[in-house]
Amino acid sequence: MSLELEKSDLADPEFVTVRAALRRGEDLLSQFGVASPRLDAEVLLGHALNCRREDLYRGLEGVLTHEVRDRFVALLGRRRRGEPVAYITGEREFWSLAFFVTPQVLVPRPETELLVEVALRIPARQVSLARILEIGTGSGAIAVSLATQRADAEIWATDLSAAALEVARVNARRHGVEKRIRFLQGDLFAPLREWDLGFFDLMICNPPYVPSGEIEHLASEIRQWEPRLALDGGVDGLDFYRRILGDAHRYLSGAGFLVLEIGGDSGTQVSRLVEAAGTFRAPAIYRDYGGRERVVVAERLP
């Protein structure tokens, strides 16, 4: 079905009310194989109307103006071409906060909230969590969420992508924590200085971990739209773990913690790498709400 056909659908009285437009939008998206057509139609109509998704249900019989209908059809057309909803609306919720996102950053995933949750659970008596380093901050979702939860924390957040850091800065400002996060551009630890050795209480990272050869098998909406720099973890997907574990202990304080997101149930492999580094205690593995191994936590040996 072409976008022209969708436009002609607008003449259809079916498209006139919020209720009818939602039904039609859902139909059109499901015909194009979109995985969550109802949810996406709601988010996109909410965006076209500049209201929250929940508010649509308070005015289901409301009549849409031509302008709103045109806007909705344009948004449906973008979704139909595979563009992720978050890039279309420029927003994704993470840790109950609205994050600005662009195609320069990975869309923050709900599973990654476990990383924040686990980091916040590290008992204060073990580590003060006063100085936190996030590597590969992307949209800033992790660093900003931690900053909103720990008013005493100072955070350093790095990324190789200058464009991603611009997005992260917007999010830090949006949530009022820009004075407590320093954004540094560069490769892993490269932007840090000599005097940062032994400085951090907590190091946290959701690294690129998709094996290079598997990228072409990812859903097209990830493969074609999300930055490869945020996905590609090298031949076996473990390159970043090896590199981080090579240097992490140097920048962590005496009993500092390393918190890493992992993918594809790679807990055993990443735990082996942690143990082989010889600078951390045996790590703990946490599963996400889908039951998959998602987070590895390791305490630095004093």
- Applying CB under 6 A, the residues found at the interface with ligand SAM are 106, 108, 112, 135-139, 141-142, 158-161, 164, 187-188, 206-208, 229-230
> Is-contact 295 259, C-beta < 8 A?
yes
Residue (237 or 283) nearer to ligand SAM, CB: 237
Q: How far apart are CA 150 and CA 148, in angstroms?
A: 6
Q: Residue 250 carries which side chain, given as an amino acid letter?
A: R
Minimal distance, residue 250 CB to ligand SAM, in Å: 16
137/253 with CB nearer ligand SAM: 137
Asked if residues 110 and 132 have their Cβ atoms less than 8 Å apart, the reply is no
3-state secondary structure 103-131: CCCCCCCHHHHHHHHHHHHCCCCCCCCCE
| CB 192, min distance to ligand SAM, A | 11
Contact 78, 34 (CB under 8 A): no
- Of the two residues 73 and 158, which places its CB atom closer to ligand SAM in the complex? 158
Structure token digits, residue 112 = 């990654």
Residue 56 Cβ, how far from ligand SAM at the closest point, in Å? 28
Minimum CB separation of residue 204 from ligand SAM in Å reads 9
CB of 119 vs ligand SAM, minimal distance in Å: 12
How do beta strands 200-205 and 252-261 pair? Answer: parallel
- Tell me how far apart the terminal alpha carbons of the chain are, to the nearest angstrom: 63
Among residues 33 and 290, whose Cβ is nearest to ligand SAM? 290
Q: Which is nearer to ligand SAM, 139 or 253 (CB)?
A: 139
